Amino acid sequence: MPCESKTFCPIPWIFQAARSNGDIRICCQANVTKNQGIIRKFDGTAYNVGVDNFNEARNAELMKDVRLNMLNGIWSEECSRCKSEEQNGLSSRRKYEEKNWPNFTFEKAKTITNEDGEINTAENPVTYYDLRFGNFCNLKCRMCGPTDSDTWYEDWEKLTGKTTYKETSGEVQIYREGNKLVSNAYNWVHNESFWKQLYNNVQNIEHVYLAGGEPMLIDRHYDFLQHCIDTNSAKNIIVEYNTNMSTIPPRVIDLWKEFKQVRVGASIDGMGKVLEYQRNPAKWSKLLKNLHTLDNSPPNIIGWIAFTVTAYNVNHMVDFMKWKLTESGFNKLNSFKNKPIITFHMAHHPKHLNIRVLPDDLKNKITKNFDSFVDWVNQSDLAENTKHKALGIRNSVTSYMNSESYYNDHWNYFKSYTTTLDKIRAESLLDVEPIFKDYI
């Protein structure tokens, strides 16, 4: 094995992740791959946190293979998103986790890994969880779908004419219960087997990432926080969220005060009508109020803008960053040293909303807009560090956008998907982002 590795990441040794349907996966970044990162048994079925043994899944064949590849400097297929992002100058999840877990080194990973890639799970318990407590959500974001939000069900039926959709464990049937479409594919969160295993390991947890659906709407999530407090474990745990900021109930602030640290990634992809278009039926005024609540929260709570870059909002991203720098009035959001002006990530999937789908001349216009943003920052009295970050964002976004084209394969579907969904939701992309007027 090499003495170091450019593909090493702590995730396969210390981490366990559950999709919204409970299927265990190696990492959320692997969702863009054919297997979507799902950890499977020999018969091909997925390990699921609702019914299966957590530790058995940790030594499944995929986990062992990925560990060995990392120790040998090989990119696994499951890690292709990080590979692509690093090749295009973006900050990948792998690099983030290396910094986040400085004590779990490449040398330590080698020491605890057997020749076949297996680890002793009793001696090396999970310290980091990624838990998606179902698909219960109050928004129906355009880059998401029914796997992430049950609010999508009605539009899904109208958009596709189907009452089924694909999940990692097969087709999900949605059916009408009263005046609402529902499914039973996400009930694992009520299985006591899951909670028993999680609670039995709570004393080892150092970091837990919570998403959904929308985690602030999941009642069992509050029970979990209270259990951490009651067992005197909260003081040792960092809780991290991805939340759409539609609600920040007072009780969650009170619970958060008891934890070592709380990190909140606010899924805000713009302002005003652009945000409301991408994350229907969000209301910008309400989200802005909740952002200020977060910005003025207790000192152990930190937050940042988690901006999902899509074909819809990539041009607007420039105006949003200007607003963030000069008008937002935030004191804490994205203010700490290792966070940029905004924290952004690419919507790699669905491909018809990836920024690489855009026509070349539209990409050129957007690139020039980012160039103008850098000029604007450089001519301002903003700090030199901010100017450096602005250039980094410009380089990362435009490099990724221009490095490959999905135009021939996915542009027509972008147009049909957008116009059809516009009709269903009584919206118009051209009203929201006029730059598309010559293209649709």
Question: Is 32's pLDDT higher than 90?
Answer: no
Label residue 221 by pLDDT band (50, 70, 90).
Answer: very high
For residue 11, the model assigns a pLDDT of: 96
- Cβ contacts of 389-395, under 8 Å, gap ≥ 24: 389/340, 389/341, 390/321, 390/341, 392/340, 393/321, 393/340, 393/341, 393/342, 393/344, 394/370, 395/89
End-to-end CA distance of the chain: 53
Identify any residues that bridge with 305 across adjacent strands, giving them in sequence order: 266
Which pTM was predicted? 0.92
The model's confidence at residue 338, banded by pLDDT at 50, 70 and 90, is low
How does residue 336 score in pLDDT terms, banded at 50, 70 and 90?
low
Q: What is the pLDDT of residues 154-207, one digit of tens each?
A: 999 999 999 999 999 899 999 999 989 999 999 999 999 999 999 999 999 999
At 383, the pLDDT band (50, 70, 90 cuts) reads: confident
Q: What percent of the chain has pLDDT over 90?
A: 90
Q: Is the pLDDT of residue 127 over 90?
A: yes
Residue 361 to residues 121, 375, 398, Cα–Cα distance (Å)? 53, 21, 13
Phi, psi of 287 (to 5 degrees): -65, -40
Residue range 93-110: mean pLDDT, rounded = 94
Give the per-residue pLDDT at 60: 97
- H/E stretch holding 167 reads strand 164-167
Can you list the positions of beta strands (E) in 216-355? 238-243, 261-266, 301-309, 343-346
Contacts of 425 (CB under 8 A, 6+ apart): 155, 280
In the predicted model, is pLDDT for residue 1 greater than 60?
no
* pLDDT tens, residue by residue, 248-297: 999 999 999 999 999 999 999 999 999 999 999 999 999 999 999 999 99
- Decide: helix, strand or coil at residue 23: strand
pLDDT for res 3:
56
Residue 247 has pLDDT above 90, yes or no: yes
